[in-house]
Amino acid sequence: MIPAAPIPMQPRRWQQAWREAVRDPRELLALLGLEGTVPAMSDAAAAQFPLRVPRGFVARMRRGDPHDPLLRQVLPLDEELHPVPGFDLDAVGDGAARAGRGVIRKYRGRALLVSTGSCAVHCRYCFRRHFPYAKETAAAAGWDEALAAIRADRSIEEVILSGGDPLSLATPKLAELTDALARVPHVSRLRLHTRLPVVLPERVDDDLAAWLAALPWPVAVVIHANHASEFDAGVDEALAALRRAGAVLLNQAVLLRGVNDSVEALAALGTRGFAAGVLPYYLHQLDRVAGAAHFEVPDRRALALHAALRERQSGFLVPRLVREVAGDASKRPL
Ligand SMILES: *Cc1c(COP(=O)(O)O)cnc(C)c1O
Ligand code: SF4
Ligand 2 centroid distance, CA of 37 (Å): 27
Share of the chain above pLDDT 90, in %: 83
Per-residue pLDDT at 285: 97
Judged by average pLDDT, the poorest of 198-202, 241-245, 297-301, 326-330 is: 326-330
Pick the ligand that lies closest to the CA of residue 122.
Answer: 2
Ligand 2 centroid distance, CA of 170 (Å): 18
Per-residue pLDDT at 242: 98
Per-residue pLDDT at 98: 81
Per-residue pLDDT at 99: 78
Per-residue pLDDT at 134: 53
User: Does the pTM of the predicted model rise above 0.85?
Assistant: yes
State the chain's mean pLDDT as an integer: 93
The distance from CA 127 to its chain's CA centroid, rounded to whole angstroms, is: 11
How far apart CA 285 and CA 305 sit, in angstroms, is 12
Ligand 1 centroid distance, CA of 20 (Å): 32
How far apart CA 273 and CA 261 sit, in angstroms, is 17
What would the pLDDT profile of 74-83 be if each residue is shown by its tens digit? 999 999 999 9
Q: Across residues 182-203, what is the average pLDDT?
A: 98
Per-residue pLDDT at 128: 67
Residue 1 reports pLDDT greater than 60: no
Contact assessment for residue 28 and residue 79, using Cβ atoms and an 8 Å cutoff: no
DSSP of 209-265: HHHHHT-SS-EEEEE---SGGG--HHHHHHHHHHHHTT-EEEEEEE--TTTT-SHHH
Strands 219-223 and 248-254: parallel
How far apart CA 158 and CA 180 sit, in angstroms, is 14
Ligand 2 centroid distance, CA of 193 (Å): 10
How far apart CA 273 and CA 231 sit, in angstroms, is 8
Residue 93 reports pLDDT greater than 80: no
How far apart CA 243 and CA 226 sit, in angstroms, is 20
Q: Across residues 261-279, what is the average pLDDT?
A: 98
pLDDT band at 209 (very low <50, low <70, confident <90, very high): very high
Closest-CA residue to 319 (of 300, 301, 334)? 334
Q: Across residues 287-303, what is the average pLDDT?
A: 96
pLDDT band at 45 (very low <50, low <70, confident <90, very high): very high
Does ligand 2 lie within 6 Å of residue 286's CB atom? no
Atom of ligand 2 nearest to the CA of 254: 3
Question: How far is residue 68 from each of residues 124, 266, 285, measured CA to CA in Å?
Answer: 14, 15, 21
Residue 132 reports pLDDT greater than 70: no
Per-residue pLDDT at 6: 56
Does ligand 2 lie within 6 Å of residue 241's CB atom? no
**Domains of the chain listed by start with CATH number:** 13-81 (no CATH), 95-333 (3.20.20.70)
Residue 157 reports pLDDT greater than 90: yes
Residue 92 reports pLDDT greater than 70: no
- Start-to-end CA span in the chain (Å): 72
How far apart CA 53 and CA 201 sit, in angstroms, is 13
Q: Which of 98, 103, 107 to mutate to test the pocket of ligand 1 (most atoms within 8 A of CB)?
A: 107
Give the amino acid at 113. Answer: L
- Structure-model confidence comparison of residues 58 and 126, the more confident one: 58
Q: Across residues 133-153, what is the average pLDDT?
A: 85
pLDDT band at 39 (very low <50, low <70, confident <90, very high): confident
Per-residue pLDDT at 162: 93
CA angle 227, 228, 232 (to 5 degrees): 120
Report the phi/psi class of residue 152: left, alpha or beta, with left for phi > 0 and alpha for psi in -120 to 50.
alpha
pLDDT band at 138 (very low <50, low <70, confident <90, very high): confident
Ligand 1 centroid distance, CA of 322 (Å): 11
DSSP letter, residue 82: S
Q: Is the omega angle on the peptide bond into residue 164 within 30 degrees of 0, that is, cis? A: yes
Atom of ligand 1 nearest to the CA of 282: 9
How far apart CA 79 and CA 294 sit, in angstroms, is 7
Residues with CB under 6 A from ligand 1: 104, 106-107, 110, 112, 160, 330-331
Q: Give whichever of 7-21, 71-85, 95-109 has the largest mean pLDDT.
A: 71-85
- Structure-model confidence comparison of residues 135 and 16, the more confident one: 16
Share of the chain above pLDDT 70, in %: 93
How far apart CA 99 and CA 150 sit, in angstroms, is 9
Task: Tell me: is residue 295 an annotated ligand-binding position.
Answer: no
Residue 107 reports pLDDT greater than 70: yes
3-state secondary structure of 281: strand
Judged by average pLDDT, the poorest of 9-23, 55-69, 95-109, 317-331 is: 95-109
Task: Tell me: is residue 126 an annotated ligand-binding position.
Answer: yes
Residue 65 reports pLDDT greater than 80: yes
Closest-CA residue to 120 (of 33, 41, 217, 224)? 224
Letter string b/e over residues 73-106, b meaning 16 or more CB atoms within 10 A of that residue's CB: bbbbbebbeeeeeebeebbbebeeebbbbbbbbb
Q: Which of 52, 53, 70, 119 to mutate to test the pocket of ligand 2 (most atoms within 8 A of CB)?
A: 119
